[in-house]
Chains A and B, each alone.
Chain A
């Protein structure tokens, strides 16, 4: 079947924060993720900076290279061009925001090199 986005990115999806509060996916703010990670005993927020965005040989996919965490580890991921990432202070962003909004009705900005996205890591990761 055609690759598709997880349902929780669809506008109106109910998201539960670590303190139990319920919010709609389109209303989430940077603070919601930061506070939830602070409450979580297992998860920590990592900053992942977009270093490159290349088109993939796979149609409708892009390859995004991130510098992840303190050590700026180089990680490349291949994602659907409409896959939304949460950018600090900016909100949902994707390589093809029009497509994201068309498919998910989720307001979305353009993901660009230099954007710092929220990612997760385990707190007890040595």
Chain B
């Protein structure tokens, strides 16, 4: 059964991705 780390579930929304 795969186990996924907690931090894969929530996004990085830092300004580096700002539009």
Contact = CB atoms under 8 A, between A and B. Distances in A.
B4 A77 contact: no
B11 A120 contact: yes
A15 B5 contact: yes
Contact of B6 (A32, A74, A77): A32
Chain A, interface SS category: strand
B9 A8 contact: yes
Interface residues of B, number: 18
B12 A121 contact: yes
A90 interface: no
A120 B2 CA distance: 23
Contacts of A43: 7
A16 interface: yes
Contacts of A103: none
